[in-house]
Amino acid sequence: MKARILLPALPLLLFAASLLTPWSGFLELWQQDRGLALAVLQELRLPRALLALTYGAMLGAAGAAIQALFANPLASPDLTGTTSGAALGAVVTAYLLGFASPLALSVGAVAGALGALLLLLLLAGPKAETATLLLAGLAISALAGALTTLALALAPSPFAFYDAYDWLMGSLVDRSLSQAAFAGVPALLTILLLLRLRAPLDALTLGEDVAQSFGHDVRRLRLEIVSLTAVGVGACVAICGAIGFIGLVAPIFARRLTGGHPGRAMLPAAALGGALLLAADLAVRAAPLGRTLPVGVVTALLGAPFFLWLVAHMRWRFEQ
């Protein structure tokens, strides 16, 4: 019951905090020039907060869906190669083909994500074992990473490398409201469409055969989740770069709130994902380093130890 109130409140509170931080500078500006303060709020802070909320929510929901589909808590958009495929698509579009508009980037990233996920299905087969799928995802991530580096090495502009490197680390800074819409609208639509698949994903707890005996078309479910994830995550990666670990961590905590049920964990995972990315972005601003860190670095620094703990925890459990 507490979770029901806290869960929607957490991302909303952090959203408000993101708009108002740093508070002292904003207060001063508000007293001196209200118009300018509103402009700062609308042009700088609002897109940043909106992107953190929707990108985080997208990663949480997609992670929950992919973990439910593969019946594995280690599956997530980063581990299946979706994020790196999207990054490759965007890098190729922007630095090799020279189209840098948000629309072109989004199309490139969605194409890259879809390509990665289709390659995943091709490698692992329509009725894949979890291990095969995860290994295939690992291979695709490695391939996409190598190709991204290659694309950057071949890029015509010498500035491309630093520019792309900065973007690849994942950042929410200096995006416009229209850019936020390019990521946020597909993300929200995708989350809504994913939520429709709660019941079949919950049924997968009993295994694919039983889900089929209930009349769920598991093959179609797999394709739907793959394409929805590609569109939603691809659109976000195009605008903000690749941000890791939230798609892994948020669903794991969300399932604690749903008694382990994977499908109905999608909505709480979206709320937690949004809250986590907002919190990470606030941490970036609070970091006393005198310069802005890419938010992807913070999620990776916090997420990687959690991932290690998870791997160790699973190993202990299976060795009992």
Partner 1 sequence: MSTLLAASGLALPGRLSDTDLVMAEPALICLVGPNGSGKTSLLHALAGIGAPAGSVSIGGADRDAARPAERRRLLAYLPAAREAAWPVTVRDLVGLGLPADADPGEADAAIGSLQLEPLANRRVDRLSTGERSRALIARALAPKPRLLLLDEPVANLDPLWQLRLMDLLKATVADGQAVLIALHDLDLAARYADRLIVMDGRRIAADGDPRVIIGSDAIRAVFGIEKGEEGWRPA
Instruction: Specify the stretch interacting with partner 1 by CB under 8 A; choose among 77-85, 195-203, 240-248, 272-280.
Output: 195-203
* Closer residue to partner 1 in complex, CB, 52/204: 204
CB atoms within 10 A of CB 6: 13
Q: How far is the CB of 228 from partner 1 (least distance, A)?
A: 20
d(CA 199, CA 217): 12
Q: What's the gap between Cα 12 and its chain centre?
A: 18
Residue 204 near partner 1 by CB under 8 A: yes
What are the CB-based long-range contacts (under 8 Å, 24+) for 218-221? 219/126, 221/69, 221/197
Q: Does 261 bind partner 1 (CB under 8 A)?
A: yes
DSSP string for residues in 57-72: HHHHHHHHHHHHHHT-
Subset of 207-236 contacting partner 1 (CB under 8 A): 207, 209-210, 212-216
Question: Least distance (Å) from partner 1 to the CB of residue 213?
Answer: 4
For residue 240, CA distances in Å to 21, 283, 285, 295 come to: 20, 17, 17, 10
Q: Which is nearer to partner 1, 34 or 127 (CB)?
A: 127
Candidate residues 55, 109, 151, 202; the one interacting with partner 1 per rule CB under 8 A: 202
Which residue, 231, 268, 222, is CA-closest to 249? Answer: 268
Q: Which stretch in 92-100, 107-115, 186-194, 254-262 sits in contact with partner 1 by CB under 8 A?
A: 254-262
Least Å distance, CB 214 to partner 1, is 5
Cβ atoms within 10 Å, residue 268: 24
Taking alpha carbons only, the member of 246, 229, 224 closest to residue 307 is 246
Indicate the residue among 162 and 214 with the shorter CB distance to partner 1: 214
- Selected from 200, 241, 244, 273, the binder of partner 1 by CB under 8 A is 200
Interacting residue with partner 1 among 35, 156, 158, 259 (CB under 8 A): 259
Residue 22: cis peptide before it, omega within 30 degrees of 0: yes
Cα within 13 Å of Cα(151), Cβ side: 22
Over the window 24 to 63, marking each residue x when it contacts partner 1 by CB under 8 A and - when it does not, the resulting string is ----------------------------------------
Contact region with partner 1 (CB under 8 A), list: 175-183, 185-193, 232-240, 253-261: 253-261
The residue range among 21-29, 108-116, 163-171, 196-204 that interacts with partner 1, by the rule CB under 8 A, is: 196-204
Q: Is 203 in the site for partner 1 (CB under 8 A)?
A: yes
* Contact yes or no for 55/190 (Cβ under 8 A): no
Among 206, 304, 311, 314, binds partner 1 (CB under 8 A): 206
Dist CA 89 CA 225 (whole Å): 20
Residues 157, 153: Cα–Cα separation, whole Å = 10
Cα(245)–Cα(306) distance, rounded to whole angstroms? Answer: 9
**Phi, psi at 245, each rounded to 5°:** 75, -25
Count of residues near partner 1 by CB under 8 A: 21
Minimum distance, C-beta of residue 260 to partner 1, in the bound complex (Å): 4
In the bound state with partner 1, the residue whose beta carbon lies nearer, of 85 and 200, is 200
**Interface contacts to partner 1, rule CB under 8 A:** 71, 199-200, 202-207, 209-210, 212-216, 255, 259-262
